[in-house]
Amino acid sequence: MIDEPPWRREGNEPDYRFSFANERTFLAWIRTALAVLAGGMLLEQFATRLQPRSVVVALALALCSFAAALAVLAYVHWRDNEIAMRHQGKLPWSRALIVLFVGVCATSCVLAGLLLTSFR
């Protein structure tokens, strides 16, 4: 069993409603990471008409790595919010939003390029 992290014993226990809201946000980010992971796997398995194949596989690997990064960022953001709430501090800004924005834009551009070159 994993021990409780030391930061959970610091500060004051936040209102449970805020902790639950923070947890729901964390779970939403995890669902997003799972969807990105599924997209990477589906791209590799079923996008047989997209060429060149090496670019498709590279994009699928990038999406799987991106999903892992989102999951890590989700945990870090959840933890940082919990710590801020325990110390009645300002909630931190999320790096995950920028990562998600850049990842979705980059993936869209690469897929659009693949579609344009594969179906001419």
**Is 6 a member of any domain?**
no
**Is 9 a member of any domain?**
no
**Is 5 a member of any domain?**
no
Specify whether the CB–CB gap between 98 and 69 falls below 8 A.
Answer: no
**Is 3 a member of any domain?**
no
User: pTM for the full model?
Assistant: 0.85
Q: Is 22 exposed, middle or buried (0-12, 13-18, 19+ CB in 10 A)?
A: buried
pLDDT digits (tens, 9 = 90+) for 34-64: 999 999 999 999 988 888 999 999 999 999 9
Domain count, the chain: 1
Structural domain that includes position 103: 14-118
CA distances from 4 to 1, 8, 39 (A): 9, 7, 34
* Cα four-point dihedral sign 110, 116, 118, 119: positive
> Radius of gyration (Cα) for the chain, nearest Å?
19
Q: CA 14 to CA 86: how far, in whole Å?
A: 6
Q: CA 67 to CA 62: how far, in whole Å?
A: 9
**Is 1 a member of any domain?**
no
Where is 17: in which H helix or E strand? Answer: helix 16-46
pLDDT digits (tens, 9 = 90+) for 61-90: 999 999 999 999 999 999 999 999 999 999
Q: Average per-residue pLDDT in the chain?
A: 92
- What is the CA 6 to chain-centroid distance, rounded? 25
**Is 38 a member of any domain?**
yes
